[in-house]
Amino acid sequence: MLERLNQALDHLETCLDRDIDMAEVARIAAVSEYHFRRLFSALAGMPLPVYVRRRRMTLAGAEVVAGELRLLDIAVRYGYGSGEAFARAFRSVHGIGPAEARRSGAPLTAQPRMSFRVVVEGSTTMRYRIVEKEAFRIVGRKARVPLMHEGLNPAAAAHLESLDEQAIVRMKQLADREPEGILSAVVHLTDSREEGAEVDYWIGAPAGCGATDEELDALDVPPGIWAVFDNHGPYPSALQQLWRDVFTQWFPSNPYVSRPGPELLRTRPVEIGTETASQLWVPVERIGGSAVVR
């Protein structure tokens, strides 16, 4: 799969000076456009549109400094309909406007071409199972929090602490299916998985589609298949490492792609560094056919 991803990036590189058909780029990678965007963000550490803009401005920067073309011609070449829009994009990458860069010869910022490769680190294996679930509902409370890749997320912890005991009791009474008990759910609002990207963070219970509680919110989850990963290690670092490994190692090595839906986590928060057991549920679909439920 990594070979196909790199072929897609090679194709993307040839399209930087014209409109990019992301559906075609994803087709070369043999995945859906949705999965390509999410996988790229996980592997590259930045959203795909940010990478494209940085690459375009890297090439445009060289042409600006060369001084052979008018700034407006360069802007049009890289897909900007006005000099103002081009100048904003140029400044967002290089820190100065194109006219200033041409006059002063100030240093510019380059975004190198990306390619992905496998790095073998020890002999760690990932245990997982594939589960098919009917539609269900998560009944609980949500908050909008920023993603954090390392350490305890203060916003997520504050949301958990804000729940009163009665709300927790009501959630437990509604919980009637796997994953059992109270869980958290992360709903990504964009394709970005970079640090600081906002997500909807739910604390709730998995229940039937008709389950309601006037004091709680509800998130309807469509039917589908899930990759379930068991994890044991220091909290929260082992869990954050698992989340990263799923998208940077497991997906590129297995015949599955992610699909829209919340990522579910069942864990018992403990003191930082204390070992605890966790279970991560990621919505997936099989490439080229139906999944075998294990």
CATH number of the domain at 63, please.
1.10.10.60
Q: Measuring CA to CA, how many Å separate 58 from each of 52, 190, 242?
A: 10, 25, 34
- Indicate whether 48 and 193 sit together in one domain: no
Instruction: Please check whether residue 179 lies inside any domain of the structure.
Output: yes
Instruction: Please check whether residue 294 lies inside any domain of the structure.
Output: no
- Indicate whether 282 and 160 sit together in one domain: yes
Instruction: Please check whether residue 114 lies inside any domain of the structure.
Output: no
Q: For residue 234, what is the domain's CATH number?
A: 3.20.80.10
- Indicate whether 277 and 155 sit together in one domain: yes
- Indicate whether 136 and 282 sit together in one domain: yes
Tell me which of 104, 137, 170 is where a domain ends.
104
Query: Which structure tokens are listed for 219?
Result: 């998130």
pTM for this structure? 0.67
Per-residue pLDDT at 46: 87
Please write the tens of the pLDDT for every residue from 184-226: 999 998 887 888 889 999 999 999 998 999 899 999 999 999 9
- Indicate whether 161 and 256 sit together in one domain: yes
- Indicate whether 95 and 162 sit together in one domain: no
Per-residue pLDDT at 42: 81
Instruction: Please check whether residue 30 lies inside any domain of the structure.
Output: yes
Residues composing the chain: 294
Tell me which of 88, 104, 120 is where a domain ends.
104
- Indicate whether 219 and 152 sit together in one domain: yes
Tell me which of 70, 104, 138 is where a domain ends.
104
Per-residue pLDDT at 150: 83
In which residue ranges of the chain is pLDDT below 70?
Answer: 105, 118-125, 288-294
Instruction: Please check whether residue 15 lies inside any domain of the structure.
Output: yes
Per-residue pLDDT at 281: 95
Q: 26 lies in which domain range?
A: 2-104
Instruction: Please check whether residue 88 lies inside any domain of the structure.
Output: yes
Number of domains in the chain: 2
Instruction: Please check whether residue 90 lies inside any domain of the structure.
Output: yes
Per-residue pLDDT at 294: 40
Per-residue pLDDT at 105: 67
Instruction: Please check whether residue 80 lies inside any domain of the structure.
Output: yes
Per-residue pLDDT at 125: 60
